[in-house]
Amino acid sequence: MYTEKVLDHFQNPRNMGELEDYNGMGMVGNAKCGDIMQMFIKVNDDGIIEDVGFKTFGCGAAVATSSMATEMIKGKSVDEALKLSNAAVVEALEGLPPVKIHCSVLAEEAVKAAVEDYHKRKEQEEQNK
């Protein structure tokens, strides 16, 4: 049912855990299954995501997709991260069963929410200057 890549990312999640010095955090959930995903990003002055972490309270596919998503945005600019689609995450995992596609949507949304939060914090910082 699951590809080896999915099982690998589920069993050995990359970048798992909260970052201590993040400057962007997104938390999203799926009302139907009740799963929750939190994404932390540390963006440097050049707008590059230097570090990323995640916490997922949910199914195995949600863990695998969040793990893969963190790998795909690490070292990228925030603009590039916004372009990450759930389809690209699924492709990188070499497929997901149809009933699990929504889990990858959660990963895309979590990345977008983290980038949004980063922009908001930056705006506030500018205002407080």
**Minimum Å distance from CB 64 to ligand FES?**
9
Instruction: Please report, as ranges, the residues that interact with ligand FES according to CB under 6 A.
Output: 30, 33, 35, 58-59, 61-62, 100, 102-103, 106
- Of 33 and 48, the one with the shorter C-beta distance to ligand FES is 33
- Of 53 and 58, the one with the shorter C-beta distance to ligand FES is 58
Q: What is the DSSP string of 39-89?
A: EEEEE-TTSBEEEEEEEEES-HHHHHHHHHHHHHHTTSBHHHHHT--HHHH
**Minimum Å distance from CB 112 to ligand FES?**
16
Active site residues: 33, 103
Amino acid at 123: E
Instruction: Say which residue the tokens 């492709």 belong to.
Output: 91
